[in-house]
Amino acid sequence: MQSAATARPTVGAEALLEVRKVCAGYGPARVLHDMELSVRRGETLVVIGRNGVGKTTLIETIIGLTTHHSGEIWFDGKRIDAEPAHRRNRLGVGWVPQQREVFPSLTVEENLTVVARSGTWNLERVYGLFPRLKERRGNYGNQLSGGEQQMLALGRALMTNPSLLLLDEPVEGLAPLIVKEMLAAIERMRHESDMAIVLVEQKYDLALAQSERCVVIDHGAVVHSGPSEELLGNQPLIDKLLGVSA
């Protein structure tokens, strides 16, 4: 495997992230099979599919938490599939995990500042995105509601000033009002920066409205790729791609 310092050969300059023929999983078990996708800088790509088809595995493979069997992952002109997760994060890959994983014994402000790196996203800007976090900046992570923990997890990822942000079902299990706040925050992020976003979401109707492109995966491989507007509101096509019986 090549290191992150290796210069990328003959790749379209507009691709910030490219996943090429990647097979990955957990130990010897392979979940992703010849997975291929790309994301341009400033673009939001939504990933949809039924439960258990490999969506979270894809996110965890990009950040470096799975067993890499074959294929290549390129980020910002560098090959990163041999790099550990912390190195990928330092290169500019941010991650908001499905389970949030905020630091329970740190305050909201400590959760944010402990990971801070220089860039356009700072404490003031995160508090502007989520005023509720500013109100609770002295509360510990385990004193927050589920929705507030999700805001904190997203804010913490932004404080690392990533070029690519991986969101794994960011509105799962949240109350409708919090879902509205989270989607509004994602919309602001999309329009106020050139950060690329990969968004995995079961509420695909909401996710399609928040993205330029969509990929559908099944059994660990891409079975459809195209503009999000092609699927938005087209339930028969979505059902067909997801393998849902009429």
What residues form DSSP beta bridges with 75? 17, 78
> Is 134 within a domain?
no
Q: How many domains does the chain have?
A: 1
33-37, 162-166, 208-212: range with lowest mean pLDDT:
208-212
Please give the pLDDT value at position 111. Answer: 96
Per-residue pLDDT at 11: 39
Using 50, 70 and 90 to split pLDDT, how confident is the model at 244? Answer: low
Is residue 37 exposed (0-12), middle (13-18) or buried (19+ Cβ within 10 Å)? buried
Is 156 exposed, middle or buried, given 0-12, 13-18 or 19+ CB atoms closer than 10 A?
buried
Task: Report if residue 26 sits inside a domain.
Answer: yes
Q: How is 100-117 classified by DSSP, letter by letter?
A: ----TTSBHHHHHHTT--
Asked if residues 32 and 24 have their Cβ atoms less than 8 Å apart, the reply is yes
The answer on pLDDT for 243 being more than 50 is: yes
| Within a domain: 156 | no
CA dihedral 119, 123, 124, 125 (to 10 degrees): 50
At 48-65, the pLDDT tens digits run 999 999 999 999 999 999
Quote the percentage of the chain above a pLDDT of 70.
93
Residues 144-203 pLDDT 10s:
999 999 999 999 999 999 999 999 999 888 889 899 898 889 989 888 888 999 999 888
Q: Retrieve residue 7's tokens.
A: 């210069």
Look at the alpha carbons of 79, 156, 191, 97 in this order and tell me if their dihedral is positive or negative.
positive
Domain around 78: 1-92+165-170+196-246
If we measure between CA atoms, which residue out of 196, 200, 199, 191 comes closest to residue 92?
Answer: 196
Kindly state whether residue 110 falls inside one of the protein's structural domains. no
- pTM score, two decimals? 0.89
Tell me, yes or no, whether 3 lies in a domain: yes
Order of strands across the sheet that contains 78-79: 29-40, 15-26, 67-75, 78-79
The CATH number of the domain holding residue 41 is: 3.40.50.300
Residue 28 resides in a domain: yes
38 pLDDT more than 90 = yes
pLDDT of residue 162: 96
CB atoms within 10 A of CB 51: 7
Token pair 């059994």 is found at 219
Q: Is the pLDDT of residue 96 over 90?
A: yes
Name 67's bridge partners: 25
Would 131 be classed as within a structural domain? no
First to last CA, the chain: 45
Is 46:58 a contact under the CB 8 Å cutoff?
Answer: no
Residue 213 has pLDDT above 60, yes or no: yes
Predicted confidence (pLDDT) at residue 237 exceeds the cutoff of 50:
yes
> Tens of pLDDT along 1-20?
343 333 333 334 489 999 99
Residue 222 inside a domain? The answer is: yes
The secondary element (H helix, E strand) that includes residue 230 is helix 228-231
What average pLDDT is seen over the chain? 90
From residue 225, alpha-carbon distances to 1, 117, 212 in Å are 28, 34, 11
Q: pLDDT value at position 99? A: 84
